[in-house]
Structure formats: structure tokens, C-alpha cells
Amino acid sequence: MSEKNQEIEEMKKEIVIERLRQAPSTIKIAFGSINEFMARDELIEQVEKGTDIGKKIIKIQLEYLKAFKKGTLQRG
């Protein structure tokens, strides 16, 4: 991976971590693949470590931000 790509990936990670830090500390999110809930700080740890779950969190958060920007989010 080039230095520029590494820099971009690190920026993505930082954005997602900051978004997660804005969530209440009591929030828990379920991931179907692990069949358990993860607390906010556990999610941040997964992103920081670059685990498979952390990468998935980054992907989901970035997709959300793109949809928000485009105005394509559906209201529930």
C-alpha cells in the first residue's frame, strides 16, 4: 500500500473513532457474525486494532456518511 493510501486509511479510521466517541458510553451494537453485543469502547478498540470487525465498522460508517451526503438515507 502506498504512503498516500495508508494516510487515507488512517484518516478514515480516525473519523470513525471520533464518531464512535460521540455515542453514549452505554450504547451496544450487535454483529450477527459474533452473536453478541459490543460496547462503544469495544467497537473503538476493534477499529484501532484493525480487526475484521473493525474494518467492517469503518465500512459501515463510511457508507452511512456517503448516503447522508447524497441525501439517500431512508427514514424508518
DSSP for 24-57, written as a single string: -TT-EEEETTTTEEEEHHHHHHHHHHT-HHHHHH
pLDDT at residue 1 in the model? 77
Residues 6+ apart with CB under 8 A from 75: none
pLDDT at residue 15 in the model? 96
Can you give the residue ranges of every domain in the chain?
3-70
Do 57 and 16 meet the contact criterion of CB atoms below 8 Å apart? Answer: yes
Length of the chain: 76
Q: What is the mean pLDDT of each run of 10 residues along the chain (76 residues)?
A: 91 96 92 80 96 94 91 72
pTM of the model: 0.83
pLDDT at residue 34 in the model? 65
